[in-house]
Amino acid sequence: MSAASPAAMWAGLALAVMLLAQSASAAAAGLPRFAEAPEYRNGEGCPAPVAGAGVCDPGLVHIAMTLDAHYLRGSMAAIYSLLKHASCPESLFFHFLAAEGGGAPPVADLRAAVAASFPSLRFEIYPFRADAVAGLISASVRAALEAPLNYARNHLADLLPRCVPRAIYLDSDVLAVDDVRRLWETRLPAAAVVAAPEYCHANFSRYFTEAFWNDPVLGARVFAGRRRAPCYFNTGVMVIDLRRWRVGNYRQRIERWMEMQKEKRIYELGSLPPFLLVFAGEIEAVDHRWNQHGLGGDNVFGSCRPLHNGPVSLMHWSGKGKPWDRLDAGKPCPLDHTWKSYDLYIGENDSSASGQPRSALSSSAALPAAVFSW
């Protein structure tokens, strides 16, 4: 093996200095510190990039997530898991929505934190102002559900470039254990705008108040004439056709229900019920393996829950209990140890401060091999 040229050595040194500066900037802003993740490259058969196309490259897989201080640790683990299991990791493009103002971390500092852990990641950050939804948010059963950033997903089609045809929206408390391109390739028939796993065994009526069901112009009449009977779906994992969303003015449709909620209380949870009111019975169903949700327990106690029966491609800690909080408290649930294997967080006394992530474990270490089978 030949020795590296002086130019290459200087380029590597410059990159290392830049990443150290970015990490220091994020730490100075009060953000957690994170180790640099391993770098992953495309395998055989991946689409070649189109010169000069940038974010408009038709071969890209677009993933949208939110970024904020408390959930940043979850976001970093989610990004790492998506890259680790992607057949074409260099083809992933991340679109991050971050709160602007109101004490939120500056976008520049969030950008520095992400770039320091994922130097080759293709991403953009879009500031989201709370006043875009502040007058529409109603009180919920859990204060965290009232955060304006929870409603940023409604604005994806307004914020992302017009050349982006669709996006996979993911919550920050997910972990991928499969190639996300499989989800990206979900077929959306002409009548559908959103694809997501449906849970028709769930009690759909409990997502709305008695006042809603007893109202002579609301209740079951709202869902009459839809493609299928309305079922619950979780908005933390969705494939969204952004072009159809814009044409159908779906943000405005959702906000009309939020305005009604201010006049008469028709639901108790935060951003989920307006989505159900617009899309339940109209979405394209996706295999349940892509949202093994509820691992954070309910919205009050956050108790431990096991995986549902069947294969797993994506794990979702929806509910009150978050794996990083339970691990830090010394009271982790069994599945939280799987999440920990992707945790890039560097604590104050963490030996991983050398820059090596603690995530040396395989993602399958804590799960039976069968859950990954297709």
Q: Please check whether residue 336 lies inside any domain of the structure.
A: no
Q: Which of 278, 271, 265, 272 is nearest to 223 (CA)?
A: 278
Interatomic CA distance for residues 198 and 267, integer angstroms: 20
Neighbouring C-alpha atoms within 13 Å toward the C-beta of 139 = 3
Interatomic CA distance for residues 226 and 103, integer angstroms: 42
Q: Please check whether residue 179 lies inside any domain of the structure.
A: yes
Q: Please check whether residue 348 lies inside any domain of the structure.
A: no
Instruction: Give residue 18's pLDDT band: very low, low, confident or very high (50, 70, 90).
Output: very low
Burial of 225 (0-12, 13-18, 19+ CB in 10 A): exposed
Contact at 8 Å (CB) between 99 and 55? no
pLDDT in tens, 115-125: 999 999 999 99
Contact at 8 Å (CB) between 118 and 152? no
Q: What is the mean pLDDT of residues 234-250?
A: 97
pLDDT in tens, 61-70: 999 999 998 8
**What is the Cα 126 distance to its own chain's centre?**
15
* 21 has a pLDDT exceeding 80: no
Q: Which of 331, 301, 313 is nearest to 367 (CA)?
A: 313
Interatomic CA distance for residues 138 and 199, integer angstroms: 25
Looking at residue 113, what is its pLDDT? Answer: 97
* 127 has a pLDDT exceeding 70: yes
CATH number for the domain that contains residue 62: 3.90.550.10
Instruction: Give residue 10's pLDDT band: very low, low, confident or very high (50, 70, 90).
Output: low
pTM score:
0.87
* 315 has a pLDDT exceeding 90: yes
Instruction: Give residue 193's pLDDT band: very low, low, confident or very high (50, 70, 90).
Output: very high
Tally of domains within the chain: 1
Looking at residue 143, what is its pLDDT? Answer: 56
* 90 has a pLDDT exceeding 90: yes
First vs last Cα of the chain: how many Å apart? 41
Mean pLDDT of the residues in the chain: 87
Domain boundaries, position 87? 55-292+312-319
Q: Please check whether residue 223 lies inside any domain of the structure.
A: yes
Q: Please check whether residue 174 lies inside any domain of the structure.
A: yes
Task: Give the Å distances, CA to CA, from 161 to 248, 265, 270.
Answer: 17, 35, 27
pLDDT in tens, 161-170: 999 999 999 9
Longest dimension (CA), the chain: 79
pLDDT in tens, 47-62: 999 999 999 999 999 9
Q: Please check whether residue 280 lies inside any domain of the structure.
A: yes
pLDDT in tens, 333-343: 999 999 999 99
Whole-number percent of the chain with pLDDT over 90: 71
* 17 has a pLDDT exceeding 50: no
Q: Please check whether residue 328 lies inside any domain of the structure.
A: no
Residues paired with 239 in a beta bridge:
168, 195
Looking at residue 91, what is its pLDDT? Answer: 97
Instruction: Tokens 């305005």: give the residue.
Output: 259
Q: Which of 149, 137, 146 is nearest to 64 (CA)?
A: 149
* 20 has a pLDDT exceeding 80: no
Q: Token pair for residue 11? A: 């380029």
Q: Please check whether residue 25 lies inside any domain of the structure.
A: no
Q: Which of 151, 145, 175, 196 is nearest to 316 (CA)?
A: 175
Q: Token pair for residue 104? A: 């939120």
Looking at residue 6, what is its pLDDT? Answer: 54
> Minimum mean pLDDT among 15-24, 267-276, 291-300: which range?
15-24
